[in-house]
Amino acid sequence: MTDGYGLNDRLVEEAHRDGIDLIVTCDNGIAAAPQAALAASYGMEMIVTDHHEVPYDETADGSREYRLPSAAAVVDPKREDSRYPYAGICGAAVAFQLIRAMYLRKDAFPAQCEAVGSDAAGGMPEELFRELTEFAAFATIGDVMELKEENRILVREGLRMMARPENPGLRALIAVNQLEGKKLTPYHIGFILGPCLNATGRLDSANRALSLFTCGDYKEALMIAQELKGLNDSRKDMTAKGTEQAIQMAESMDLTQNPVLVLYLPDCHESLAGIIAGRIREHYHHPVFILTDAEDGVKGSGRSIEAYSMYEEMSRCKELFTRFGGHKMAAGLSLPKENVELFRRRINELATLTEEDFVQKIHIDVPMPLSYATKELTEQLSLLEPFGTGNPKPLFAQKNLLFFSAKLIGKNNRVMRFGVRDEQNHRFSMTMFSEHEPFDDYIRENFGDGALSALYEARADEVRLSVVYYPEMNEYGGHSELQYVIHDYKKFC
């Protein structure tokens, strides 16, 4: 909340007072040209490692003039002159590859490599390589990078290594979240482990997460990990309240006049703005900015949809911001409070989105009867893992299933289990991981209250739905069984 997410003048001046002569950034710095100049004026050097878009100015002829910070090195695969084969890696992966490059060139600085234990044959020590691969994979998932090309390999290998983590802190974090011995997936990183680290940086200090990964004692790491989990539980409550408030505000707006939602929640904890923006984007499938009061004006975070390049559109009204940065799907910004309404009006005037852009599209790989989804097929599909952004789980569809029973299971009743029959009268059990209220409302609206009651009493005979689903193996208590997970549903007509 004090320093934001990137480099600022105060940090540069503090480093200078402490006698620091080299600053290395990670996941930021590409937009820090003024801070790089300030550091240079103090005789300090800077190495920038980042993956965000390079700032630019539009010239009179419509071309772009890119602005790089003046530094000893600017390592960013989004540079126009970059020769790196894949630009879609995250900031932590950029830093990881810089470390690898240093080891490959260790002949240029043998003393430094020897100090951290490089073996005589060259290359990075195995323990260090494993640890950094785990962290780079963790960050790739946490930053919602597309799981293709290099990222796919990095995440696949990193998840495999996390079965026996090198780092005591990571091992402790997995333990307190009761994931020991389980096959870790991008879901576990993105929705269970990652938020524990985010929570401390948002609500307290990122130093707590840093101490988790730098402490060498497992018992101490367990205590820190438990604190992080507790902070994340508090963050969940605060996020739920902020999301509810944002939805109430969005409901009062005309979405035809506001294709880009700019929601000003002055009392929202500024570090939760990005999370809430993501929730609202999922709810309405519109680009969303959440703005809140900060020490130096108003800060905000944005989350976008595929049809809307957030950074590009913000660049068209950059005069309204004191700072901004990001990429196509997400952005951060600071602006004076008096510019909030002007920003809402201007960003919507610039938008060229159509109604078609707001329709959330579900891409089905193939229509397939439930009876075709065997254990053997599921095992073959697992070869395509890890699944996530850019490499989604294969989705299948079947029409005209009779839903004859429903019950709520799991913690807080957040899992639904259905009994269904296909047109050949074969019975199947299907599972859906979601709140039950939206499903209940849909059944009432389309079939009536009586049909909903009959469904929960296991005697329904008129609820016919077409479903989008995926098959997976459910492992518990040393056993595994095939389960059919519902992704979406619609009344069969």
For the domain that residue 164 is a member of, what is the CATH number? 3.90.1640.30
pLDDT tens across 345-362, in order? Answer: 999 999 999 999 998 888
pLDDT at residue number 202? 75
pLDDT at residue number 110? 59
pLDDT of residue 384 exceeding 80: yes
Angle at which helix 218-251 crosses helix 194-203, to 10 degrees, equals 80
149 φψ region: left (φ > 0), alpha (ψ -120 to 50), beta (else): left
Tell me if 236 is assigned to some domain: no
Tell me if 265 is assigned to some domain: yes
pLDDT tens across 451-474, in order? Answer: 999 999 999 999 999 999 999 988
Claim to verify: residue 340 and residue 374 sit in the same structural domain:
no
pLDDT grade for 111, boundaries at 50, 70 and 90: low
Claim to verify: residue 216 and residue 297 sit in the same structural domain:
no
Tell me if 235 is assigned to some domain: no
Tell me if 238 is assigned to some domain: no
Claim to verify: residue 263 and residue 318 sit in the same structural domain:
yes
Tell me if 294 is assigned to some domain: yes
Q: Which of 311, 341, 358 is the last residue of a domain?
A: 358
CA dihedral (91, 92, 94, 99) positive or negative: positive
Claim to verify: residue 345 and residue 442 sit in the same structural domain:
no
Claim to verify: residue 401 and residue 278 sit in the same structural domain:
no
Lowest mean pLDDT among 32-46, 201-215, 388-402: 201-215
Tell me if 378 is assigned to some domain: yes
Q: Which of 358, 376, 406 is the last residue of a domain?
A: 358
Tell me if 237 is assigned to some domain: no
pLDDT tens across 282-317, in order? Answer: 889 999 999 999 888 999 999 999 899 999 999 999
User: Chain-centre distance of CA 94, in angstroms?
Assistant: 17
Claim to verify: residue 353 and residue 386 sit in the same structural domain:
no
pLDDT of residue 118 exceeding 60: no
User: Would you list the DSSP string of 26-51?
Assistant: SS--TT-HHHHHHHHHTT-EEEEE--
Tell me if 243 is assigned to some domain: no
pLDDT at residue number 109? 57
pLDDT of residue 14 exceeding 60: yes
Residue length of the chain: 493
- Domain that includes residue 465, residue range: 366-491
Claim to verify: residue 135 and residue 267 sit in the same structural domain:
no
| Cis status, amide bond into 55, omega within 30 of 0 | no
Claim to verify: residue 452 and residue 475 sit in the same structural domain:
yes
Token pair recorded at residue 83: 């020769």
pLDDT at residue number 117? 45
Claim to verify: residue 264 and residue 409 sit in the same structural domain:
no
Q: Into how many domains does the chain fold? A: 3
pLDDT tens across 327-338, in order? Answer: 888 999 999 999
Give the residue among 241, 275, 282, 248 at the shortest CA–CA distance from 263. Answer: 248
pLDDT of residue 78 exceeding 50: yes
Q: Which of 358, 381, 413 is the last residue of a domain?
A: 358
Claim to verify: residue 64 and residue 199 sit in the same structural domain:
yes
For the domain that residue 423 is a member of, what is the CATH number? 2.40.50
For the domain that residue 312 is a member of, what is the CATH number? 3.10.310.30
pLDDT at residue number 205? 82
Claim to verify: residue 441 and residue 354 sit in the same structural domain:
no
Claim to verify: residue 70 and residue 186 sit in the same structural domain:
yes
